Amino acid sequence: MNALETDRLVLEPWDEQHRKAWRLICRDSEVMRFIASGEIWETDKADDVFDRTLVHWREHGFGWRSALDKANGSWLGFVGLNYIGPGIEKVAPNDVEIGWWIIRAAWGRGYATEGAAAIRDEGFERVDLDRVIARLQPANMASARVAEKIGMRFEHRATGHSGEALSIYELRRLAKPDQASGRADG
């Protein structure tokens, strides 16, 4: 699968070369405070999630992408799409979520919004999704702003795997041109 490019980012499919950087972000308490229980992930947990993300790519042809600074190639975090799976109240396991984690040193520069917009477009165009969701802890106002900037709107409250409160945001694809005109042939 090819990389996606934005003005400032290269979004590479999830790959073994970024495992070390992934482990570091999972150990940053400020990044992790709005993820699941809010606790950092030790190496075993980080590796388990990393490995499942690699499998997701192989099985579905889409997934998380490493966000690299186009100017210098440094790893800034990830943005991606994945099937949410079971265990989230009021969310179907086959719903596809869009998500982003950015290293703390890169916060406040618009990288999450820039990357999420590209991933949103990939979801609707290449992956052919009709809807994407985001699950955010209500106190995570920065991620709520990212969700809103890419066109998402609050849908409902839910409870996550660790018992955490979640705000579920959604975005539906606009009708395809052939659907909008009512013509089956485009």
* CATH code where residue 48 lies: 3.40.630.30
pLDDT per position as a tens digit, 18-51: 999 999 999 999 999 999 999 999 999 999 999 9
Is 186 part of a structural domain of the chain? no
Angle subtended at Cα 37 by Cα 74 and Cα 121, rounded to the nearest 5 degrees: 45
DSSP bridge partners of 136? 167
Residue 150 lies in a domain: no
pLDDT band with cut points at 50, 70 and 90 for residue 183? very low
In terms of residue numbers, what domain contains 93? 4-130
Q: What are the pLDDT digits (tens) for 12-24?
A: 999 999 999 999 9
154 is a domain residue? no
Residue 135, SS3 per DSSP = strand
**113-169 confidence digits (pLDDT tens):** 999 999 999 999 999 999 999 999 999 999 999 999 999 999 999 999 889 999 999
In-domain check, residue 10: yes
Tell which wins on pLDDT, 186 or 178.
178
Beta strands in the chain (DSSP E): 4-5, 9-13, 64-69, 75-83, 96-102, 131-136, 153-159, 165-172
**How many structural domains is the chain composed of?**
1
Say whether 3 sits in a helix, a strand or coil: coil
In degrees and rounded to multiples of 5, residue 48 shows phi and psi of: -60, -45
39 within domain boundaries: yes
